[in-house]
Structures are given as structure tokens and as C-alpha cells.
A and B are shown apart, each in its own frame.
Chain A
Amino acid sequence: MASWFNEIVNTAAGTVVGAANQLTSFLNPGMARLRAAGLNPGGGRVLGGLLDRANVNYSNSITKDIAKDWRVRVSSNSEALPYSGVMSPLGLTQGVIFPYTPQIAVTHQANYTPQKFTHSNYPAFSYENSEVQSIQITADFTVQNGNEAAYLLACIYFFRSSTKMFFGSGDKVGNPPPLVFLDGYGSHYFPHVPCLVTQFSHTMPADVDYLETNAQLSQDAVAGAINQTPLTSKYVQNAQRALQVGVGDGSGGGGGNNGNSSTRIPTVSQITISLQPVYSKKVIADNFSLERFSQGGLIDKGFL
């Protein structure tokens, strides 16, 4: 009884207040401007202190349209390498996003065999082949809180898993390591390039602090909450809540939240990966054309 009564009373009171505000706005243009700007007279917060910013819309890496995101991203097919368990933080960004601009080296090479004729001043070159050599990515990671520690741990597991074949048990036994896809810097530089992870290394410096994260708790907390597409606000909230629950604060000394599941992550570290672009023979035979490639017409196939 009390709840519906309160609701009705509050609704009625809100209607009266709203009408009064509208009248005030009509009579006072300054008040109308402030209301439109989401500000209060005097610059204070609204009652209850819930408003800490007026109309600021921060760039949100979680809900941003991935197709328009220019940041470097290494992602995988969700069936081959699902973003669940310890990799669940990657579901928020649909792959690995590097927190700082990574250093990337891409080498396009054309190979020629020199033919050195006797008594000649210049050798002749016979064309052999061309190749895109493996893409070297060096990226720095810093960890300042539990969420960042969980994300870095997820990245490490992503690249670890990307270098291993499906073996032992499971539905995909016998398959080679999963492909990953490289995106970044708009539509024409890394156009969702299919790549193999040929090398992954993570430095663990000796002269930095290590932050504790509780990976096991994270797995339990986020199971089933992350691996959902498309991105929805509920999904994001679940994942964020899971991250908050699932990681330690790093404030402890030697002991963790759970002695067997805690992991320590370096606060400053570096990841180096080698990605080898790879295309199936059928895709190349059916789609590749140098004329179209040179005009930028094959970006939907991921050709470099």
C-alpha cells in the first residue's frame, strides 16, 4: 500500500514541481539556459549529489561503434576463441585493445633472384615472389588497479591461446591455432587482416611493482555474463560489475583473496607479438587483382 501511495504522491509532486519549473523557465531565460545545459544555479550539484557532470559525454570505449574505432585491435572469431572466463574482460572491447599506441612494423617485400652474367656490368633480376612479412607489434601495458590487471591477464591468455592448437579434448580437436584479425587506423591500413600469431612474449620486469588480481574469482563471476553479442548496456554493466567483483585491490601483502587463484601482474610491462598475415588460396584466386588492390578495392578482403 505504501509503495503505490508514495509513487502516486511523488508523481503528483513531480508534476507540480515540473510545472513550476516550466513557468520559472518561461519567466527567466537564464534559468531556461541553465536547465538546457544541465546546470544548477550557483554551479552546485543537484540534490542528492548524483550529478557530477553536467552534459559531458565521455568517449566510451565499451559502447563505441567498433566499425568506426581507429584503435589497433587484435580480435578473434568468437567461436574459436570466446571471450569468457579469464578472457572475459576482452569482451568489453571485442578483442585486445592496446592502452597505449603500440609500435608496429609492417614489411612488404618483393624477392628477386639476381642473374650475374659473365662479363657484364649489371646483373639481371628475375622475379620470384612477394610477401608481407610478419607484423611486429610492441605494446606497453600499465596496471594501476584491479580492472587493468584483469584486462592485461586476459590479453596474456588471449595471445597464449592463439599460439596453441586444439589438442586433447573438446569439439575442435585437431584444428590448428585460431586465426586472429588485426584492425586499426581506419579502413585502409589494417582492414581486418587475418593473421596467425607466430610469436608472443611478455616481459616481466624486475624493477616494478606487481599488482594482485584474483583470476579464479573473476572467472566465476563473469561466466555467462560477458560472452554476448551484440553489445548491450546490460551486457556492459554485467561485465563491469563482474570485473569489479572479480579482481583484488592489490592492497594486500603476501596473501590474496584466495590463496590458489590470485595472480600478480606487473604494473609496467611490455608485450611483443608477431602476426603473420595469411590468406587462403581460394580467396586469393577468386578475389585478388592488382588493379583493384592498388585502387583500394580489396580492403573488405583484408589484403595488405
Chain B
Amino acid sequence: MAAEYNKFSPYYETGTFGPFLDIMVNRPIPKNPLDVEYKIDAVYRYRPDMLAADLYGHSSLWWVFAARNPNVIKDPIFDFFPGQTIYIPNKQTLVAALGI
């Protein structure tokens, strides 16, 4: 039986067949002119989940930073290092884009 992914998951749009995930369907995060530019601090080194929890109250939104900054963050975890400059998606944008 395939696992069910909720709206906070990057796999929510991805289909399943049997116990397997199908080819991943990305969930892009649209740009917003109000998005804040942020240089990652040492406290969030390799911890997008912690930043997501602090910002949005949901650590399961750890992947939204990579989705919003695809040209900067290839690896959602290990490209999340201090000094890296990213855009922080606005919570209203996430609510609208992800339906959460």
C-alpha cells in the first residue's frame, strides 16, 4: 500500500503505483517581490527543517527553500550552508501555492 503524502510534502503531487513513487512531480514555489533575501546563518547549517519550523511552524516544509532557489540550492540539505544567499518564500505565497 502506497504511503500518502500530505500537502506539506514535496511528494504530494507525485503519483504512486503500488508501493512505489512515480516520477517526481515538482512543486514549484513562485517568486514574490516581497520575498526576503537571506544569507544563511551558521545556526541553520544543513538545517532547512529548523528554519522552516522557525519561520512557518512546520519543519516538513524544509524543501521549500530548495524549490524557491533552484539555481542556488541543488542539494536541499548540503547546499544549505552558512554564507549561501537565498530567498525566503513568504508564508502567504506558500499557503497559496501549496494549499496548506
Sample of 13 A–B contacts (CB below 8 Å): A33-B41, A33-B43, A37-B38, A38-B38, A39-B36, A42-B55, A42-B56, A42-B92, A43-B36, A43-B56, A54-B38, A55-B41, A56-B85
Interface members, chain A 25-73 (any B CB < 8 Å): 30-31, 33-34, 36-45, 49, 51-57
Say yes or no: A34 contacts B36, CB within 8 Å.
no
A residues near B (Cβ < 8 Å) are 30-31, 33-34, 36-45, 49, 51-57
Using C-beta atoms within 8 Å of the partner chain, give the interface range for chain B.
20 to 34
In the complex, number of A-B residue pairs with CB atoms less than 8 Å apart: 68
Task: Considering the complex, give the chain A residue whose CB is closest to the CB of B32.
Answer: A43
Tell me the minimal C-beta distance from A43 to chain B in angstroms: 4
Please tell me if B16 contacts chain A, counting CB pairs below 8 Å. Answer: no
Say yes or no: A43 contacts B43, CB within 8 Å.
no
Task: Considering the complex, give the chain B residue whose CB is closest to the CB of A43.
Answer: B88
Task: Considering the complex, give the chain B residue whose CB is closest to the CB of A37.
Answer: B41
Task: Considering the complex, give the chain B residue whose CB is closest to the CB of A49.
Answer: B34
Say yes or no: A42 contacts B90, CB within 8 Å.
yes
Say yes or no: B91 contacts A55, CB within 8 Å.
no
Say yes or no: A56 contacts B91, CB within 8 Å.
no
Q: Which 10 pairs show the lowest CB-CB distances between chains A and B? A: A42-B91, A53-B37, A30-B54, A43-B88, A54-B38, A37-B41, A56-B39, A43-B90, A34-B54, A43-B55
CB neighbours (8 Å) of A56 from chain B are: 37-39, 85
CB neighbours (8 Å) of B76 from chain A are: none
Say yes or no: A44 contacts B34, CB within 8 Å.
yes
With contacts A39-B88, A42-B91, A56-B85 known, is A30 near B53, CB below 8 A? yes
CB neighbours (8 Å) of B56 from chain A are: 42-43
Bound: A44/B89 CA distance, A: 8
Known A-B contacts: A34-B54, A40-B36, A45-B34. Give 6 more (CB < 8 A): A37-B41, A39-B55, A39-B88, A43-B91, A54-B37, A55-B38
